[in-house]
Structure 1
């Protein structure tokens, strides 16, 4: 196997730059599971940074479960599919050719479709009138900003953020945070594709009303209907990408 080539990194945020480059090579399979990382000295020379930056980057790789440090200080690449968590999703969104990884996007949308109804239901059980008032205020802003897709996108994200913050489930919140960070990398490209979902005030309004009544099952039902609008549109767009086109 040909050793992966490394590029000199920016002198700003050295450990961050080293971490990103090493993590990228692991996630894209240039450094395979079971392989040993080059020694700190070798990495320092190849990347053009000091050994302290390399050492700090390797600590972060350990925390992300991308490498394990064995006895003697040698670092071995781990199988991120077996060891990693949702925080790795942003690094998987774009493939080695700089293209959107459609399989990862589909996986994220499937997870979102699975979680969103339960988030809406849990928020309806716990949120009450105070949350409903906040959701109604957001819906009013969405109506006022109907001509701005960017504003609708931001308001829709805020709507779901309020639901997840008040649903009382920390696992939902952390999963939402990971999905949001991943989505932020492609949000400009996704805006037009998902606009029908952003304009779906009917289901969002029904969720808000269900939250006010404490009606979990109605919130769940309308949450499912709402996110499936976006999922269907995105699946159509991803089919075009897989056929050699681009997201329109």
Structure 2
């Protein structure tokens, strides 16, 4: 029997636990989950909590509940959503971490170019403020969070809401493991200096220069993160 889950986090924790069991192959694509009564008992939760969790898992593309049939496991690589990234990173940090970094570089450079083209005066001002916040940070943790907010502002400055949602998915995967990725932020002043060429290109509205600066910045921070 699985370890019981605390009631204050029951549904969200249950979603995580079942996601990991599905993604690890305990319940492979095409198979059925155990009956709800059995499944709820195995995790030490009520059937009501289980039903709420299954709704979220269905929305993420992991399972499908059919009346009279039960809950079937779907092929997450064909039908899953970006909500699965945090769980995938926990299960296989090397494989999925490499692919997340690759997406981060490519998507980040694209966002920087679009932000240079479309950013408003107010958005560019907030980007300046976030670089200043990185520089003023008292420790690596504060600098890392300030840098994350810089990228949130960058996504907003593209003017494309889909880019913002895509960025949010990458941030959701990044946040749970960020403690192991603080290499670029141990010296906040140097972290801000690395952002300056990208900021300069964004403020100039130079899409080509912003794309190149973002690629360079993301490659360098990735190197430092992996080194840490």
Q: TM-score, normalised by structure 2?
A: 0.89
Alignment correspondent of 1:169: 160
Q: Which runs of 5+ in 2 are unaligned?
A: none
Instruction: Kindly report which structure 2 residues correspond to 1:205-216, keeping only aligned pairs within 5 A, or say none.
Output: 205-216=196-207
C-alpha RMSD of the superposition = 2.3
Task: State yes or no: 1:120 paired with 2:116.
Answer: no
Task: State yes or no: 1:25 paired with 2:21.
Answer: yes
Say whether the 8 Å CA contact 1:132–1:209 is kept in structure 2: no
**Cα displacement (A) at 1:141:** 3.0
Instruction: Say which is worse superposed, 10-19 or 67-76, in terms of deviation.
Output: 10-19
Instruction: Give the Cα separation in 2 of the matches to 1:198 and 1:119.
Output: 24
**Cα displacement (A) at 1:116:** 0.8
Instruction: Give the Cα separation in 2 of the matches to 1:138 and 1:221.
Output: 20
The number of aligned residues is: 228
**Cα displacement (A) at 1:37:** 0.6
Label 1:33 to 1:234 Cα distance change in 2 as closer, same or farther (>3 A): same
Q: Which runs of 5+ in 1 are unaligned?
A: 238-247
Instruction: Give the Cα separation in 1 of the matches to 2:90 and 2:189.
Output: 24
SS in 1 for 2:40: helix
Instruction: Kindly report which structure 2 residues correspond to 1:20-59, keeping only aligned pairs within 5 A, or say none.
Output: 20-59=16-55
Q: Provide Cα deviations, 1:21-40, integer angstroms capped at 9, x if missing partner.
A: 21110011111111111111
Alignment correspondent of 2:68: 72
Say whether the 8 Å CA contact 2:32–2:72 is kept in structure 1: yes
**Cα displacement (A) at 1:135:** 2.0
Instruction: Say which is worse superposed, 45-54 or 162-171, in terms of deviation.
Output: 45-54
Label 1:28 to 1:197 Cα distance change in 2 as closer, same or farther (>3 A): farther
Instruction: Give the Cα separation in 1 of the matches to 2:165 and 2:189.
Output: 23
Alignment correspondent of 1:245: none
Label 1:118 to 1:85 Cα distance change in 2 as closer, same or farther (>3 A): same
Q: Provide Cα deviations, 1:42-99, integer angstroms capped at 9, x if missing partner.
A: 123323322212222211111111111224141111111111111101011122xxxx
Instruction: Give the Cα separation in 1 of the matches to 2:97 and 2:149.
Output: 21
Alignment correspondent of 1:242: none
Instruction: Give the Cα separation in 1 of the matches to 2:209 and 2:129.
Output: 20
Q: TM-score, normalised by structure 1?
A: 0.82
Instruction: Kindly report which structure 2 residues correspond to 1:89-238, keeping only aligned pairs within 5 A, or say none.
Output: 89-95=85-91, 101-145=93-137, 148-192=139-183, 195=186, 199-235=190-226, 237=227
Greater percentage in helix: 2
Label 1:18 to 1:142 Cα distance change in 2 as closer, same or farther (>3 A): closer
Instruction: Give the Cα separation in 1 of the matches to 2:181 and 2:2.
Output: 32
Label 1:204 to 1:234 Cα distance change in 2 as closer, same or farther (>3 A): closer
SS in 2 for 1:75: strand
Say whether the 8 Å CA contact 2:184–2:191 is kept in structure 1: no
